Amino acid sequence: MKRNIYAILLSAIAISFGCKTNSTNLNIQVKDSETEYTYAAVYPAGKTEKLKKYIALELNNKLPIEQQVDTTVSLPGGEQFKLKATAGELNIQFNKRDNSAAGYIKMKKLTDGINKILSGK
């Protein structure tokens, strides 16, 4: 009986440790085709507030990315992109056909800044 209790306790500790180390995972995927630029990031939820402040500063638009957001964002130059976000996850879709080359450059600059925020650089 003692062995079972120790085995269960050891398993609980191992699972707990595994869950805590998983909180530092960062996964960023960028797809850049002729027609679309897609940015997807899964990051530690603790970085959401810092990311929210950066996006608000760059876009001059306060978005509640800590909540579930699924919206189209308009930039001052008339460019638009689709943004989906929750705490710990961000997805951006930018259609190149519907937007200008200057808008694409702005989007690349925005996502480069997001990369820096999320990677801690």
- What mean pLDDT comes out for the span 15-24? 54
Is residue 43, in this structure, part of any structural domain at all? yes
Secondary structure of residue 46 in the 3-state scheme = helix
Q: Per the structure, how many domains does the chain have?
A: 1
| 12 occurs within a structural domain | no
Domain presence at residue 76: yes
Checking if the pLDDT of 58 tops 90, the result is no
What is the chain's mean pLDDT, rounded?
84
Identify the pLDDT of residue 69. Answer: 84
Q: What are the two backbone dihedrals, phi and then psi, of residue 61, each rounded to the nearest 5 degrees?
A: -150, 120
Residues in a beta bridge with 73: 81
Assigned domain for 47 exists: yes
Average pLDDT estimate for 28-49: 94
Write out the H or E segment, with its range, that includes residue 83: strand 80-86
Question: What pLDDT, on a 0 to 100 scale, did the predictor assign at position 55?
Answer: 87
pLDDT by residue (tens digit) across 71-116? 888 887 788 999 999 999 999 999 999 999 999 999 999 999 999 9
CATH number at residue 57: 3.30.310
Rounded Cα distance between 87 and 43, Å, is 8
96 inside domain: yes
∠ CA 57-63-69, rounded to 5° = 145
Range of the domain at 95: 24-119
Say yes or no to pLDDT of 12 above 70.
no
Domain annotation covers residue 18 = no
**At 57, is the secondary structure helix, strand, or coil?**
helix
3-class DSSP state for residue 62?
Answer: coil
- Examine the pLDDT at 7 and tell me if it is beyond 60: no
Entry pTM? 0.75
More confident call, 73 vs 61: 73
